[in-house]
Structures are given as C-alpha cells and as structure tokens.
Amino acid sequence: MASGVEAPSFSLRADRVGELALPASWPFALTREWAWGGSTGEGVRVCVIDSGVESGHPDVGEIGSSVTVTADEEGYANVVDDAAGDVFGHGTACAGIVRSLAPGCEIDSVRVLGPANRGSGSLLLAGLEWAVARGHEVINMSLSTAKPELLDAMRRLTDGAYFRRATIVASAHNLAVESYPWRFSSVVSVGSHEESDPMRFYYNPDPPVEFYGRGLDVEVAWKGGGRLRSSGNSLATAHLAGICALIRAKHPELAPFELKSVLRLTSSNATIEAG
C-alpha cells in the first residue's frame, strides 16, 4: 500500500508483524503422545452445563463452583449459587466421565435442567453466557435446544466463546431433530459409537456431527453416589470434553480451531496408534 494511505480496519501494519510470533511450533508428526501424553488436565477448567453435578461423588470428587440459572417473575434469568447439586443425575454422569479421563481438571457446574431433565432455552443461554464470561477453557454441553427463536442468540454466544478461546463440546440430539448448538461450526459436535475404549474416537468427514465418542452401554456416575449403565450422545460428548481438557492442559496456547485440528489428526481413523 502506498505511503500515507490509511489502512483498512483490522489490517496488520508492517511494524507489528513481529508481535505475531507463535508461542509454540507444531511437530512434524502429530501424535497422541504429543497431543496429551502425560497430561491430567491440570490447570483446565471444565464447565458442565446440565442438571447439576453431585460434588463429592466417588467418581467425580469435589467440584469448584456450582450455580443454577433461575427465572424471576418477569422472566429474566438470574445465576445464583446452587446447593441442590444434581437434581436428576445426567450432569453427574457427564462430570464423572470427564473426571475419569482428565482427573486433574477443575469441574464447575451450571444447572439449567430440572428434576425431569428438562429446561428452558432461555436458561440454557444464560448458563452458557455465564460459563463463557468466567473463562472456562472447555464447556461440556450434553444438551441442546430446538427452539428456532433462540437460534441467533445461541449462535452469537457460541461465536463469542470461540473468540474467547473456549472450546464448546456439544452433543448431537439423540433423535433426528434439528437442534443447537451442535450444528454450529464454532463448536465440537459429537455423536456416539458403540465400542468400549474411552479413548477411541472417530472423525466424521461428513458433518454436522464431526466426531464420534464412546456412548453406548457405558457405566456412569449417578446421583446419590451410585452408578448405572446408560447410552446416548451426551456420554460421547463428555468423553470428547475430557480429551479436550487433556490437550488444552498440555498445550494451553491452542485456539479452538487448532484443538479441533488436533482431534481430527489424532482420531482413531486417522492414526495408527493404539487406542
């Protein structure tokens, strides 16, 4: 550009090129050992947006913050401290899976579902906004909304999370239903496979489901300190969230799109490594 001509907004000036030095280099061959070998997830905060999490469950351990989203008389959402824990069991199941894969991570809980494991889309939006604002590196969303009127607001939130370096791992609906946010490209979308290895996951070259994780006939933690066997894309999502926590802990410099690339290159159908 000629001297004296004003550069467009968001342009990179020549005198700032040196500021773009990347904090780390990529390996010649990207392996699972490079991606998460030796990682426990320590230093990563994982937020489980669900039915709550039972802190102290043998498969979960103590968790960090626990909040719930409620609606006031005028319908406005409020995020308040939550002493109820898990009111259904689903959130504890997801948290237990994350903990089993990334034992060193911190798990926070945002309860947006009630005792029937159902909730309001507006409360879901408020819960996600809270998780993003507090800087969680990984957000597990084993739930979705099918309400079209919430589509734009949900997209704005997930895009905002992406640019704040938060990786949202979102469950595909268990039914052939068009719901969100798993259909957004800014999230890691997950369906389930029936194999038993928790570290086996597959990249799907034909989205919107991008990855398949373990999700059928899984023994999971449940409320009341118990366990049960369950199936669903929710559980597969928690497996991928745990793996994301391992990667992010070892490579905190990775942006969400880079983390997704690591998942793709270390998936079980893209690597010859065991497991």
134: in domain: yes
Sequential pLDDT tens for the chain (275 residues): 455 678 898 888 888 888 888 777 788 889 999 999 999 999 999 999 999 999 999 999 999 999 999 988 777 899 999 999 999 999 999 999 999 999 999 999 999 999 999 988 999 999 999 999 999 999 999 999 999 999 999 999 999 999 999 999 999 999 999 999 999 999 999 999 999 999 999 999 999 999 999 999 999 999 999 999 999 999 999 999 999 999 999 999 999 999 999 999 999 999 654 44
- Is residue 4 classed exposed, middle or buried when 0-12, 13-18 and 19+ CB atoms within 10 A define those classes? exposed
Asked if the structure places residue 161 within a domain, the reply is yes
Tell me whether residue 76 is in a domain: yes
Question: Quick one: tokens of 253?
Answer: 């410099």
Can you tell me the distance from the alpha carbon of 165 to that of 248, in angstroms, rounded to the nearest whole number? 10
Domain boundaries, position 130: 39-266
Question: What pLDDT is recorded for position 23?
Answer: 74
CATH assignment at residue 112 = 3.40.50.200
Structure confidence at residue 275 (pLDDT): 43
Helix, strand, coil percentages (3-state) for the chain, rounded to 5, are 30, 20, 50
pLDDT of residue 71: 84
- Residue 259: per-residue pLDDT: 98
Give pLDDT, residue 1.
47
- Residue whose structure tokens are 């734009």: 152
pLDDT of residue 274: 43
Amino acid at 86: D
Assigned domain for 28 exists: no
212 part of a folded domain: yes
| Cβ atoms of residues 142 and 171 within 8 Å | yes
For residue 26, tell me if it sits in a domain: no
Give 274's strand partners.
Answer: none
Count of structural domains within the chain:
1
Instruction: Indicate whether 24 belongs to any domain.
Output: no
Q: Does residue 74 form part of some domain?
A: yes
Residue 9: predicted pLDDT: 86
* Contacts of 76 by beta carbon, 8 Å cutoff, 6+ apart: none
